[in-house]
Amino acid sequence: MADLPEGALMQRAAAGLAYAIIDFLRERGRGGAYGSRVALLVGSGDNGGDALYAGAILARRGARVEAVLLSDRAHEGGVAALRAAGGTVASGGVSTGSTSGGTDVVVDGIVGIGGKPGLRAEAEAALAMFEGAPVVSVDTPSGVCVDTGEVDGSHVSADLTVTFGTYKPCHLLDPAASASGRVELVDIGLDLPAPSVESLEAEDVAALVPRPAPDGHKYTRGVVGLRVGSATYPGAALLAVSGANTGLAGMVRYVGTAAEWVKRHNPEVVGDGQAQAWVVGSGSADGANSALAFARASGVPLVIDADSLRALTGPLGVPAILTPHAGELAALIREDRADVEARPLHYARLAAKRYHAVVLLKGRRTTIASPDPATPVRVNTTGTSWLATAGSGDVLGGLIGSLLAAGLAPIDAASAGAWLHGAAATLASAGGPVTASGVASAIPAVIRSLPAVSPRSR
Ligand SMILES: NC(=O)C1=CN([C@@H]2O[C@H](COP(=O)(O)OP(=O)(O)OC[C@H]3O[C@@H](n4cnc5c(N)ncnc54)[C@H](O)[C@@H]3O)[C@@H](O)[C@H]2O)[C@@H](O)CC1
Ligand SMILES: [K+]
């Protein structure tokens, strides 16, 4: 900021915001700014300033813009700019009615990164005035906790959030991510420090996916072993194997009561022997403890799922990835499920530290924490709600196991696995329902469609 003239960043932010609002209005069937009715909810800080300057740009392009000031203080330059562009300004948190009734978009400039969680009464009342109108949030949906993605009290639920410089944790982590709606990033030319939370994109996954060396053979590519499924749940074995047996690893081993079934459906899968990673617990029922003990004795990295999570008492002494959903994580650390769902970042980190393992907490935004607190937490953004289907977790465990066996670090195996799994679900679903088997079948096609990797980043 020291290198730039006063207000330069705000002007860049406001311009990016204004153009995003124009696109949003077009999407909603308006011609653009001209003739649209825009209400700005303006708090006391720079977030309100962004809204006011963006409002001035929209007013100059023919929008009818009214700012509703929610506090005695408002960004002075912004207020002046909006007035000069022909916009109106209502103080005291009450609209003059010039845009209500037919408001095309409400711009939430209540608070941004400087706000405390929760909304004050004036903000709640102003939002109620425009109930039903689409909302574009400036930088963050006001009221959520920006740095954790938690919510505490009331908050805005946006259709679109236009953020500046970089995504914030609240855009990635639930429950705040759900309140952000679609998120658009405007580059305002900031030099940013290393993040505490990050999200893989297709290019990142392309660089992580193991590819066979020209002189590679099945053993150098990695062997993944699975001790999953049981007489009660043979399907879990088939699904975990289908996640592992996509060709990412050089060989797949299966040991367990479903061996006959597994071999009938997967002739390439072999029996017991050495492996570079073991997957245990999915549908293991009573065999969960012995599967875990066996895998642990192997000394190689592990994926620990479902029933074997219940057998954990502490750190395992080998690199491990735990793959609980919120209920399983809650049982593991003796907390309430609702608390885990409300604070996924906190509890994934806590469990990772306690068990010295990578913890992949499954959910709409799967959250992956490393035992090393300096490693950014990764949040997965691929997938579709159709993925909430029986057996999809078994497929994920097998897929992550194959990436681990191929030599990826646990945090990379877990996060690349979650990304591929979500992308495979979206591909297989194509907007309709999908089964866990369908997800597994789509994994190779997702890998084929990844962007090309430059030799340098490989
Ligand atoms: N820092 C930067 O580099 C940039 C910041 N910009 C904008 O500036 C924003 C941050 O501005 P500020 O630091 O002024 O902070 P905010 O505008 O986010 O909010 C702080 C103000 O809101 C009040 N407040 C705090 N919690 C509240 C609550 N729950 N309800 C009502 N009022 C509350 C505080 O008294 C304070 O005056 C960003 O989110 C972004 O929109 C952009 O202009 C681009 C550049
Ligand atoms: K906001």
75-99 average pLDDT score:
89
User: Which ligand 1 atom sits nearest the alpha carbon of residue 142?
Assistant: 29
| Tokens standing for residue 344 | 């996924």
Give the number of whichever ligand sits closest to the CA of residue 17.
1
- 457 pLDDT exceeds 80? no
- 455 pLDDT exceeds 80? no
413 is in an annotated binding site: no
User: DSSP assignment of 289-322, as one string?
Assistant: HHHHHHHHHHTS-EEE-HHHHTT--S--SS-EEE
pLDDT at res. 303: 98
Domains of the chain in start order, with CATH, are 8-193 (3.40.50.10260), 202-448 (3.40.1190.20)
Asked if 39 and 95 touch (Cβ cutoff 8 Å), the reply is yes
| Interval 47-79: pLDDT, tens | 999 999 999 999 999 999 999 999 999 999 999
| Tokens standing for residue 41 | 């909810």
378 is in an annotated binding site: no
CA distances from 308 to 10, 291, 326, 352 (A): 52, 8, 15, 16
Q: What are the phi and psi torsion angles at 7 (to 5°)? A: 85, -5
| Interval 197-215: pLDDT, tens | 999 999 999 999 999 888 8
Quick one: angle between helices 436-448 and 410-429, nearest 10?
110
- 100 pLDDT exceeds 60? no
Pocket lined around ligand 1, Cβ cut-off 6 Å: 9-10, 13, 43-48, 50, 111-116, 118-120, 138-139, 164, 188
- 306 pLDDT exceeds 90? yes
For atom 24 of ligand 1, the residue with the nearest CA is 115
pLDDT at res. 221: 85
| Interval 314-361: pLDDT, tens | 999 999 999 999 999 999 999 999 999 999 999 999 999 999 999 999
The answer for residues whose C-beta is within 8 angstroms of residue 237's C-beta and 6 or more apart is: 226, 228, 229, 230, 254, 256, 257, 258, 261, 262, 282, 283
> Which of 1, 6, 42, 44 has most ligand 1 atoms within 8 Å of its beta carbon, as the pocket-test mutant?
44
Among 321, 346, 320, CA closest to 333: 346
Other Cβ atoms less than 10 A from the Cβ of 457: the count is: 10
